[in-house]
């Protein structure tokens, strides 16, 4: 372990670049915008599927459906087919971090690593669903909160004040001060700055000898 720099540079860098990829491909990924867009601004998916319209188009195909029922069906379609790029970034960063730490420590058997990875992925998805169903949070906010909790957990694991500061700045940029693409860009810059700070820090052994 002697001359190693802090290992948390990797998950911070991975998170930053993963979010920038979400920004780069943000044309098709908008953090779940379709699932949470107001009904007044769009036609329901079920209106397209079943021919349920408004005004003179209502009941065009002889199918009667209230807007409430259409909204409920739309929600079910959206949950199944949601294209939330930020959530995929959360899952990818968690999996990459687990594999990185497993390779670096070389102390865990493969089945333990697989159990930790699978259990964490399931936990993230369940937490995301709880945030949607119980707290009525939009997709971007849920993903940002999950990542902030992950950064706080990393700070505790590494006993790092730097990561804790990054987590605080991350939640400010991703939830409080900005939304959407801007939140992704600002929070990416924060975690990448933290990763570079970790890489530029003095190795542990050198710090202890001085």
State the pLDDT confidence band at 26, using cuts at 50, 70 and 90. Answer: low
DSSP 18-57: HHHHHHHTTTT--SSHHHHS-GGGS--HHHHHHT--SGGG
Specify the range with the lowest mean pLDDT, choosing from 3-12, 45-54, 125-134, 167-176.
45-54
Residue with tokens 């730490």: 101
The total of other beta-carbon atoms located within 10 Å of residue 181's CB is 14
State the pLDDT confidence band at 110, using cuts at 50, 70 and 90. Answer: confident
- In this prediction, residue 204 carries a pLDDT of 56
- In this prediction, residue 150 carries a pLDDT of 94
- In this prediction, residue 117 carries a pLDDT of 93
Alpha-carbon gap, residue 167 to 158, rounded angstroms: 13
Q: How far is CA 74 from CA 44, 91, 141, 143, 172, in A?
A: 7, 25, 21, 21, 32
- In this prediction, residue 182 carries a pLDDT of 87
| Half-sphere exposure at residue 133, Cβ-oriented, CA atoms within 13 angstroms | 9
Would you state the structure tokens that stand for residue 91, as one six-digit string?
A: 């899952």
Alpha-carbon gap, residue 69 to 81, rounded angstroms: 19
Q: Taking 90 as the threshold, does the pLDDT of residue 44 lie above it?
A: no
- In this prediction, residue 203 carries a pLDDT of 63
For the chain, the first-to-last Cα distance in angstroms comes to 17
Dmax over CA atoms of the chain, in Å, equals 82
- In this prediction, residue 189 carries a pLDDT of 96
Q: Taking 70 as the threshold, does the pLDDT of residue 171 lie above it?
A: yes
């Amino acid at each position: 372990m002697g001359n190693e720099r802090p290992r948390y540079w990797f998950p911070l860098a991975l998170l930053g670049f993963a979010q920038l990829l979400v920004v780069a491909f943000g044309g098709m990924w908008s953090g779940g915008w379709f699932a949470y867009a107001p009904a007044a601004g769009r036609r329901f998916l079920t209106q397209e599927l079943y021919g349920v319209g408004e005004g003179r188009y209502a009941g065009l195909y002889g199918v009667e459906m209230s807007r409430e029922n259409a909204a409920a069906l739309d929600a079910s379609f959206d949950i199944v087919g949601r294209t939330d790029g930020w959530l995929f970034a959360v899952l990818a960063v968690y999996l990459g971090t687990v594999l990185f730490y497993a390779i670096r420590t070389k102390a865990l058997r493969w089945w333990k690593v697989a159990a930790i990875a699978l259990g964490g992925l399931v936990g993230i998805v369940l937490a995301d669903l709880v945030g949607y169903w119980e707290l009525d949070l939009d997709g971007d906010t849920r993903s940002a909160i999950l990542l902030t909790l992950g950064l706080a957990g990393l700070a505790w694991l590494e006993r790092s004040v730097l990561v804790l500061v990054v987590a605080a700045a991350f939640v400010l940029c991703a939830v409080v001060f900005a939304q959407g693409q801007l939140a992704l860009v600002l929070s990416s810059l924060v975690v990448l700055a933290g990763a570079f700070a970790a890489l530029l820090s003095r190795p542990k052994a050198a710090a202890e000898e001085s």
